[in-house]
Amino acid sequence: MTGPDDDTDAQDRALVAAHVAGDPDAFTTLVRRHQDRLWAVALRTLGSREDAADALQEALLSAYRSAAGYRGEARVTTWLHRVVVNACLDRARRNQVRLTVPLPEDREPADPRDRLAERETAMEVEAALAGLPADQRAALVLVDVQGLPVDEAAAVLGVPAGTVKSRCSRGRARLAVQLGHLRNRPTPPAVPPAGTSTSTEGGAA
């Protein structure tokens, strides 16, 4: 019995095959299906909108050119996430990107004081996330922000599942230390959900 994810992946695979066969619109359609999640991953991994946009463009160009090499061992979304994360990590290491904290989108809580508190908390959480080593940050973005299963995050990052668990555990521990003071606030800290405009030990653990 197939589920929605299987149907989505089947459609994605058909688009990849059509692109490889020469369909001029197939890759654009594929990107449109997943661009919000890919953008969220790039933004959270790099922190800077400019760097995220550049890395995402590089990644999609790479995927466009290398699509013929996609062999179907993993879901198309896993393949796309892998290309994007690798582009982000390469950019961060190559250019020694200084992670920044994008401001959250304007929202309208009932009380302006709640809005200010939410912005302050979100920025503190994002700043702490941005301060993690790139590999820990990438693991947390995939698992805790994007909600990928550990096994899929491991496939994206090209490391064993145990390494992803270790990186997430270390990253969460560092965040807990840095954000412990927020526990006394009415709303507990949490990484804002993927898709908002708020905005890692280097090798395998």
- Tens digit of pLDDT for each residue in 128-179? 777 888 889 899 999 988 889 999 999 999 999 999 999 999 999 988 887 7
Q: Which long-range contacts (CB under 8 A, 24 or more apart) does 164-168 make?
A: 164/139, 166/205, 167/135, 167/136, 167/138, 167/139, 167/140, 167/200, 167/201, 167/205, 168/136, 168/139, 168/140, 168/143, 168/144
* CATH number for the domain that contains residue 147: 1.10.1740.10
pTM of the model: 0.70
Q: Is residue 29 part of a domain?
A: yes
What is the rounded CA–CA span in Å between residue 84 and residue 89? Answer: 9
Q: Output 94 or 2, whichever has higher pLDDT.
A: 94
CA 142 from chain centre, in angstroms, equals 5
153, 111 contact by CB (below 8 A): no
Best CA proximity match to 126, nearest among 202, 53, 40:
40
* Residue-number span of the structural domain to which 34 is assigned: 4-103+110-178
> Above 70 in pLDDT, residue 4?
no
Mean pLDDT of the region 12-36? 96
Q: Is residue 75 part of a domain?
A: yes
Question: Which pLDDT score is estimated for 168?
Answer: 94
Q: Is residue 137 part of a domain?
A: yes
What is the tally of structural domains in the chain?
1
Q: Is residue 163 part of a domain?
A: yes
HEC sequence for 63-90: HHHHHHHCCCCCCHHHHHHHHHHHHHHH
Q: Is residue 69 part of a domain?
A: yes
What is the rounded CA–CA span in Å between residue 135 and residue 154? Answer: 12
What is the rounded CA–CA span in Å between residue 90 and residue 169? Answer: 23
Q: Is residue 192 part of a domain?
A: no
Q: Is residue 138 part of a domain?
A: yes
Q: How do residues 107-136 score in pLDDT, each as one tens digit?
A: 454 455 555 666 666 677 777 777 888 889
- Return the axis-axis angle of helices 4-20 and 76-95, rounded to nearest 10°: 70
Q: How confident is the model at residue 205 (pLDDT cuts 50, 70, 90)?
A: very low
Q: State the chain's maximal CA–CA distance in angstroms.
A: 58
Q: Is residue 194 part of a domain?
A: no
Question: Which pLDDT score is estimated for 19?
Answer: 97
